Structure 1
Amino acid sequence: MRIRATVAAVSGALALSAFAVPAAQADDGRSWSPDSGFTATQPSAGEKSKRGFAAAQAAAAPKITSAVVNGGKPIPVGTKSKQTVPFTATATAEAGVGGVAAFIWIGSSVEDEDSFGFGPNGKSISCKVVSATTSTCKGTITLDPGLLINSDATWWRVGASAVTEEGEEFQHEALSKVRVQRFSKLTVNASPEPVKKGKTITVTGKLTRANWDTGTYKGYSAQAVKLQFKKKGATSYTTVKTVKTSSTGTLKTTVKASADGTWRYSFAGTPSTPAVSAKGDFVDVK
């Protein structure tokens, strides 16, 4: 689908729509365009040739000074539920800023047919006038896992579109970055329960992560995962050993039963996959 952002000034306030989906679709269903909803008035060629005028225009040019999505933290996305995250963006213009909103995208250029992105939820946007020339706006962006593929688990550029109080649109394609990750899950089971002191406990589990290509969770292979233990009455876990996941993401190891307590697996994460710890499994040692 071809996705675009619509930006318009209405009575000095910003009205930003969510990305719209035109009828025409690209072959892979993922191309997009951050087209604005209006045309800004540009100086004529004759005016541009006037050095003094050009210098004045450059000095007064509207500018987006910052845009941050999810506080700069990674965005883990699962396979079914849409993930909504906040953004903050600031812009300045001599005529005053009607509003500004962020979008995220990947690709070589926002104009490239192979690029893809998500834009602001129009109804979520609220703005605060910082000064006569500067405004900061907050809002949300929603990521749809149904539109993602596994290679999208990488850095995304954060851009922003804005509009002056006079209706002039301006944009910055890459103000910052944010990482999108494949959501992870981790399980644990320690048995037998109860167990005699000194006997062997077998601790199994599985590390999986979102597979956006298939819309399912798949085992994450060859990953180092810590086996941790929290003795009854303690407030924190201690790492006992490190275990690697199998080709299907499974975990299995053995330990000696020494005291009542809770066992869990803990994964530190990778650039494409967030850290996760299993819910602990308590074992009663007799």
Structure 2
Amino acid sequence: MRIRATVAAVSGALALSAFAVPAAHAAAAAPNVTFSNVKVNSGKAITLGATSTVKVKATYTVTHPTTVSMSNVLTGPVLYRGASAKDADTQVVSDDPGTCTTVNSTTVNCTAYITLPADELYNSDAGTWKEGGLAVDKKTEAEKWQNDLGTIPVRRAAKLTADATPEPVKKGKTLTVTGKLTRADWQHGTYIGFGGQSVKLQFCKAGSTTYTTVKTITSSSTGALKTTVTAGSDGYYRYSFAGTSTTSAVSSAADYVDVQ
């Protein structure tokens, strides 16, 4: 990713750019807290269009000794791509410190929000991100970073079209179904053809709500799709793409064909 998010503290004049710690405080003891139960976007994949900005909710639990007052500690979730949540070049920290509710004398449950803007991502950032946590002592600004608290997919949004011709068509005649599979290009703010992908042509008979797969074809180098079928009955044709580890699943809008 290009630019990490900025995290601002909510108390007094204290403002921390991504919880950055001045060198003068480097020797201070890190907050004695532990993160667990981190869940970003309810565990669902985060999908970003070519120019979209997505803000997702994150929940987490923080445990601490009774000697630690959470009123003196700022916490927030971290998404990162590198070996450590602390790596500034591959991290996104929550927009603001989490809002926490006391469970008991040693436990709080917290909520925060993380914003991912597509125009700050490289296409290569799509894939599995790791979840972590960051705690900062309000007085000393000493940090604790915690790694490997879970994973979440971050995917490029896909688009898919379908057009069956001719319409109407006589029973037993050939229908040609064309379409195109594209996906978000975050680096250029547009959608580009997604080639070499398996895409299913599906049919739903008029009066039904169930689609069945007619055949599976492969998108061309430009993402183009084209195949033929024999017209049998009135109904809807669509293309359906299952997605990949870096690209979202998508189905095209259905195209109704009147068979005479």
- TM-score by length of structure 2 reads 0.85
For 1:46, the equivalent position in structure 2 comes to none
What root-mean-square deviation, in Å, do the aligned CA atoms of Structure 1 and Structure 2 show?
3.0
Structure 2: distance between partners of 1:2 and 1:215: 16
Residue 18 (structure 2) pairs with residue 76 (structure 1): no
Q: Residue 35 of structure 1 aligns to which amino acid in structure 2?
A: A
Residue 125 (structure 2) pairs with residue 152 (structure 1): yes
Q: Deviations over 1:22-64 (max 9, x none)?
A: xxxxxxxxxxx65258948846xxxxxxxxxxxxx9xx94212
Structure 2 CA distance for partners of 1:222 and 1:201, relative to 1, 3 Å: same
For 1:24, the equivalent position in structure 2 comes to none
Q: Residue 198 of structure 2 aligns to which amino acid in structure 1?
A: A
Q: Residue 234 of structure 1 aligns to which amino acid in structure 2?
A: S
SS at match of 2:148: strand
Q: Deviations over 1:124-171 (max 9, x none)?
A: x43221111111111211111111111111221211123579877533
For 1:100, the equivalent position in structure 2 comes to 75
- TM-score by length of structure 1 reads 0.78
Where does structure 1 lack aligned partners over 5 or more consecutive residues?
21-32, 44-56
Q: Which of 150-159 and 225-234 deviates more? A: 150-159
Q: Given that residues 85 and 132 in structure 2 are in contact (C-alpha distance below 8 angstroms), is that contact kept between their aligned partners in structure 1?
A: no
Structure 2 CA distance for partners of 1:166 and 1:133, relative to 1, 3 Å: farther
- The structure with the largest alpha-carbon Rg is 1
- Pick one of 35, 53, 57 that aligns with 1:64: 35
Residue 251 (structure 2) pairs with residue 277 (structure 1): yes
Structure 2 CA distance for partners of 1:171 and 1:2, relative to 1, 3 Å: same
Q: Given that residues 158 and 247 in structure 2 are in contact (C-alpha distance below 8 angstroms), is that contact kept between their aligned partners in structure 1?
A: yes
For 1:184, the equivalent position in structure 2 comes to 158
For 1:248, the equivalent position in structure 2 comes to 222
Alignment of 1:114-125 (within 5 A): 115-122=89-96, 125=98
Structure 2: distance between partners of 1:219 and 1:268: 16
Aligned length: 253
Alignment of 1:7-156 (within 5 A): 8=9, 10=11, 20=17, 34-36=19-21, 39=25, 42=28, 61-94=32-65, 95-98=68-71, 99-112=74-87, 115-122=89-96, 125-156=98-129
Q: Residue 81 of structure 2 aligns to which amino acid in structure 1?
A: I
Q: Given that residues 229 and 262 in structure 1 are in contact (C-alpha distance below 8 angstroms), is that contact kept between their aligned partners in structure 2?
A: yes
Structure 1 position 119, deviation (Å)? 1.9
Identical counterparts, % of pairs: 43
SS at match of 1:135: strand
Structure 1 position 277, deviation (Å)? 0.5
Q: Given that residues 132 and 145 in structure 2 are in contact (C-alpha distance below 8 angstroms), is that contact kept between their aligned partners in structure 1?
A: yes
Q: Given that residues 85 and 145 in structure 2 are in contact (C-alpha distance below 8 angstroms), is that contact kept between their aligned partners in structure 1?
A: no
